[in-house]
């Protein structure tokens, strides 16, 4: 923002005012930003645009979870989910249109990958939740569609705005990035950001993780675990949150619980067991409740804080791994149509 206003001949502090108007006050009409000089406002009106994602679908769930489908340029759609809990409200934000990582149990993966979201499209999701839907967002998790570390710069900048005092003022413990484990990007993240870390682990051995989270073939556990440990080093309040989806007969045995305990030994850890959310065509089933309980008990007995994530919003397909959006470009579809219709388009 400072660079933008400077390029228009104004003092840098006007950039900070601009940030405040848009993100703290939710004002998008440049004409209403009364502490910017008239000249600067005219320049901005001529040269810049404040555009927010359009909410095309606004769906409340029976349990209070709220899903919005946002339409971006080219007709791409992404989903943003607000999850109210006692004393806090978590917004689950998307980072890409689709995803390229192809995890075998995730329905976003089935949609394929189209493109990265821009910084504006990422922070726009929080803007919509706070300023248009008036939701009390106390936490943000980068756990929507996409792999955030595969869209590095825009995600890092968006998380910085979330933390900025002139914008959303969220503390570093309340902004969480979730990654399937792109190790070099994770190490780079440590240099530029101090957000909290969640990692989609889902398996205690390379053999199984190769199958469930294929990026593991490139960055196996012996690279991933030390990188995570490095990420939280220097802050004794920090733990790595490990996400572990419970797949019946695949990763939920007592032996696998023991392997998991051994794998995480020496790493300050918290485990989030996620009941598998099914989707059409999947070959997996969720582990039975008593299996999840027994698995959790084992981890707890080994002294690892283990929570079972409550499934929220599954009646509106807003639960983990159920976000699908619309990955195809409208323009591409129209192009295809134009091609098949002689004389079209």
Residue numbers at the binding site for ligand SAH (CB under 6 A)? 103, 105-107, 143, 147, 178-180, 200, 243, 245, 274, 276-277, 320-321
Phi and psi at 120, nearest 5°, equal -60, -40
Q: How far is the CB of 68 from ligand SAH (least distance, A)?
A: 17
Residue nearer to ligand SAH on the CB measure, 43 or 251: 251
The active-site residue, picked from 54, 207, 320, 334, is: 320
Minimum distance from residue 283 beta carbon to ligand SAH (Å): 12
Closest residue to ligand SAH, judged by C-beta, is 321
**Least distance from ligand SAH to the Cβ atom of residue 122, Å:** 13
User: Distance of CA 185 to CAs 10, 156, 179, 300, Å?
Assistant: 35, 11, 10, 31
Q: Shortest distance, CB of residue 311 to ligand SAH, whole angstroms?
A: 8
Q: Which one, 18 or 245, has the nearer CB to ligand SAH?
A: 245
Alpha helices, H only, 128-202: 152-163, 183-192
| SS3 at position 177 | strand
Q: Cβ closer to ligand SAH: 274 or 292? A: 274
The closest of 243, 154, 153 to 196, measured between CA atoms, is 243
Q: At how many degrees (to 10) do helices 152-163 and 183-192 cross?
A: 30
| 320 catalytically annotated | yes
Q: Which is nearer to ligand SAH, 25 or 218 (CB)?
A: 218
User: Minimum Å distance from CB 292 to ligand SAH?
Assistant: 12
286 is catalytic: no
Take residue 188 and report the two structure tokens written for it. Answer: 């780079």
CB of 33 or CB of 155, closer to ligand SAH: 155
Q: Which tokens belong to 63?
A: 């349990």
- Strand pairing report for 54-60 and 66-71: antiparallel
Those residues whose C-beta lies under 8 Å from the C-beta of residue 114, and which sit 6 or more positions away, are 76, 96, 97, 98, 327, 328, 329
From 79, 121, 147, 243, the catalytic residue: 79
Which are the catalytic amino acids?
Answer: 79, 320
């Amino acid at each position: 923002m400072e660079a933008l206003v400077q390029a228009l001949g104004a003092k840098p502090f006007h950039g900070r005012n601009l940030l405040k108007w848009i993100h703290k006050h939710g004002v998008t009409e440049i004409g209403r930003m009364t502490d910017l000089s008239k000249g600067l406002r005219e320049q901005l009106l001529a040269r810049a645009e404040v555009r927010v994602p359009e909410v095309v679908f606004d769906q409340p769930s029976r349990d209070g979870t709220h899903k919005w489908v946002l339409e971006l340029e080219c007709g791409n759609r992404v989903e943003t989910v607000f999850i109210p809990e006692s004393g806090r409200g978590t917004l689950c934000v998307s980072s890409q249109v689709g995803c390229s990582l192809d995890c075998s149990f995730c329905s976003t993966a089935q949609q394929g990958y189209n493109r990265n979201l821009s910084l504006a499209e990422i922070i726009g999701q929080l803007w919509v939740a706070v300023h248009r839907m008036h939701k009390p967002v106390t936490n943000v998790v980068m756990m929507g569609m996409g792999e955030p570390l595969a869209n590095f710069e825009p995600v890092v900048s968006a998380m910085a705005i979330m933390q900025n005092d002139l914008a959303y003022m969220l503390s570093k413990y309340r902004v969480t990035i979730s990654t399937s484990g792109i190790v070099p990007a994770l190490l780079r993240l440590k240099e530029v950001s101090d957000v909290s870390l969640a990692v989609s682990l889902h398996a205690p051995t390379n053999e199984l993780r190769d199958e469930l989270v294929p990026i593991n073939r490139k960055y196996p556990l012996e690279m991933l675990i030390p990188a995570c440990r490095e990420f939280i080093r220097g802050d004794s309040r920090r733990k790595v949150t490990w996400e572990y989806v419970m797949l019946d007969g695949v990763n939920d045995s007592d032996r696998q619980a023991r392997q998991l305990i051994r794998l995480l030994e020496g790493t300050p850890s918290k485990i989030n067991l996620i009941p598998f959310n099914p989707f059409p065509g999947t070959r997996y089933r969720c582990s039975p409740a008593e299996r999840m309980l027994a698995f959790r008990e084992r981890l707890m007995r080994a002294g690892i804080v283990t929570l079972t994530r409550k499934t929220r919003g599954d009646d509106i397909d807003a639960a983990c791994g159920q976000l699908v959006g619309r990955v195809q470009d409208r323009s591409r579809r129209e192009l295809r149509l134009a091609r098949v219709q002689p004389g079209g388009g």
